[in-house]
Structure 1
Amino acid sequence: MGNRILIVDDEWNMRNLIKIYLSREAFQLNEAKDGYEAIEMADQYAFDLVVLDVMLPDIDGWEVCSTIRKTSEIPILMLTARDDVKDRVLGLNIGADDYLIKPFAPEELVARVKALLRRRKKDNREIDKLLITFNDLSIDYDSRETWVKGTRVELTPKEFDILYTVAHNPKTVFTRDILLDKIWYSEEFRDLRAVDTHVKNLREKVRKAGLSFNPVKTVWGVGYKFNRPEDQY
């Protein structure tokens, strides 16, 4: 299924024109004819992008944008007939992602929509990389925090790095040498046995926190890999 887009404009002709442009790209398209309807639809349905006109009959597009931004980071492309820098700055400051001046070429509308969708997809991939969750275990790379059943587990920097490295690559077996190369600084004392010690301590801490599975598996004669909950038995 294609991306779902909400088109917000009080003029039927403009909504229809935008639909014609975007329907060629196999998007799923929904319409709202005023601001309140747009807010209600954005609250009820999961859209991938909003094309939002500034001039609406009830509340203006800026208020709609600001309201949506309180609960969602969905990309918003604002449309306006006024080529006023102050208007564009206002829209961007309250959360709009891009601006398009009417009248616009169909190719430019489609290109801007695709660019915003690509950016959102990339952002989502980055979030997925930074936050890893397996059952009751959550590993947040950005804050460098580990949580078990909602309780934070205090790990040393090396323990955290080992856990994140194997969890981020759950199908990869890491030798002790590779873990030393990835996690230890070149000027630090490097000892293969230190990896074993950190793994042992890591396992003990998450076990005491109530984790129902052992997250780091020993691959005998090789090293370590992530031990997913479904791989325990």
Structure 2
Amino acid sequence: MSKILLVEDDDSLGSSLNSYLVDEGHEVKWAQSLEEARSKTGEEEIVILDWMLPDGQGVDFLKELRNDGISIPVIMLTARTDLIDKVIGLEAGANDYMTKPFEPRELVARIRVQLRDYSPSEVVELNEVIVRGDLSIDKGQRVIKWHGKEVEFTKMEFDFLTLLAESPNRAFPREEILNKVWGYENYPSTRTVDTHVLQIRQKLSDELIETVRGIGYRFKHSQS
């Protein structure tokens, strides 16, 4: 049994999903607004999050979770079909994305996948601090310092830089970076990797991340 926070304002769908998940053996807290979701956040192991809510957008709640260092899986629910909306949700830190209408049993299957891939051992690993020259990355606190000063990073920037800094001698193909940082393989464009490299260089240094022509990027050995 897992603890689920279901954030869905539609009475019919919310009630149906709540009943179905409970019948499957899950413990469910059902919220119908962002305010209610915030008040019920605490012990959940996974969040099922609708995009459009009466007092805002679910993606804003998702960003709040990630900014607070809460890394539990989040599955977005939405009637939106535009690719850009899917990209926005995934870049904000969603682990999966389902377009309405859908079968509840498919949602249950996706919940199982997310819970299988997320384990307490990952949390233990996050307690480590990576030091590369003048750069330090505190994975537990999700804090990056450059020359001793804290620098603000988005979730994706943090995860991207951490991936490269953990293996400073390795060249990562763009497709592998997308899969490991964004969590899926069929991203619409590898240009998002280049954009994030530019953003990280602007915040830290042009010398930290080296472009490997024809492959992708690597953390420069001189900084290790």
So what's the TM-score if we normalise by structure 1? 0.52
Query: Quick one: structure 1 residues 39 and 142, their matched pair in 2 at CA, closer, same or farther if it must change by over 3 Å?
Result: same
Give the match for residue 99 of structure 1.
97
1:82 is displaced (CA, Å) by 1.4
Give SS of 1:47's match: coil
Amino acid at match of 1:26: G
CA RMSD of aligned residues (A): 2.2
Give SS of 2:25's match: coil
Give the match for residue 163 of structure 2.
none
Instruction: Give, in whole Å, the separation in 1 of the partners of 2:97 and 2:11.
Output: 20
Kindly provide the CA deviation profile for residues 177-227 of structure 1, in whole angstroms up to 9, marking residues without a partner as x: xxxxxxxxxxxxxxxxxxxxxxxxxxxxxxxxxxxxxxxxxxxxxxxxxxx
Instruction: Give, in whole Å, the separation in 2 of the partners of 1:141 and 1:6.
Output: 31
Give SS of 1:79's match: strand
Kindly provide the CA deviation profile for residues 78-122 of structure 1, in whole angstroms up to 9, marking residues without a partner as x: 00011111111000111111100100012211101111111112x
Give SS of 2:28's match: strand
When the two structures are aligned, how many residues end up with a matched partner? 131
Give the match for residue 46 of structure 1.
43
Larger Rg computed on CA atoms: 1
**1:111 and 2:109 equivalent?**
yes
Give the match for residue 19 of structure 1.
18
Kindly provide the CA deviation profile for residues 42-70 of structure 1, in whole angstroms up to 9, marking residues without a partner as x: 1xx21101100001011111111111111
Once the two structures are superposed, the pairs formed by residues 80-99 of structure 1 within 5 Å of their partners are 80-99=78-97
Gap regions ≥5 residues in structure 2:
132-224
Kindly indicate whether the alpha-carbon contact (under 8 Å) linking 1:39 and 1:68 is maintained by their aligned counterparts in 2: no
Give the match for residue 173 of structure 1.
none
Give the match for residue 121 of structure 2.
125
Q: Report percent identity of matched pairs.
A: 37
Amino acid at match of 2:19: I
Once the two structures are superposed, the pairs formed by residues 132-143 of structure 1 within 5 Å of their partners are none
Of the candidates 60, 63, 68, which is equivalent to residue 63 of structure 1? 60
Kindly provide the CA deviation profile for residues 150-192 of structure 1, in whole angstroms up to 9, marking residues without a partner as x: xxxxxxxxxxxxxxxxxxxxxxxxxxxxxxxxxxxxxxxxxxx
Give SS of 1:86's match: helix
Instruction: Give, in whole Å, the separation in 2 of the partners of 1:117 and 1:95.
Output: 16
Instruction: Give, in whole Å, the separation in 1 of the partners of 2:126 and 2:76.
Output: 31
Give the match for residue 5 of structure 1.
4
Instruction: Give, in whole Å, the separation in 1 of the partners of 2:122 and 2:107.
Output: 26
Gap regions ≥5 residues in structure 1:
133-139, 144-233
Kindly indicate whether the alpha-carbon contact (under 8 Å) linking 2:29 and 2:40 is maintained by their aligned counterparts in 1: no
Instruction: Give, in whole Å, the separation in 1 of the partners of 2:118 and 2:99.
Output: 22
Instruction: Give, in whole Å, the separation in 2 of the partners of 1:32 and 1:58.
Output: 12
Instruction: Give, in whole Å, the separation in 1 of the partners of 2:130 and 2:58.
Output: 34
Instruction: Give, in whole Å, the separation in 2 of the partners of 1:101 and 1:76.
Output: 14
Kindly indicate whether the alpha-carbon contact (under 8 Å) linking 1:39 and 1:67 is maintained by their aligned counterparts in 2: no
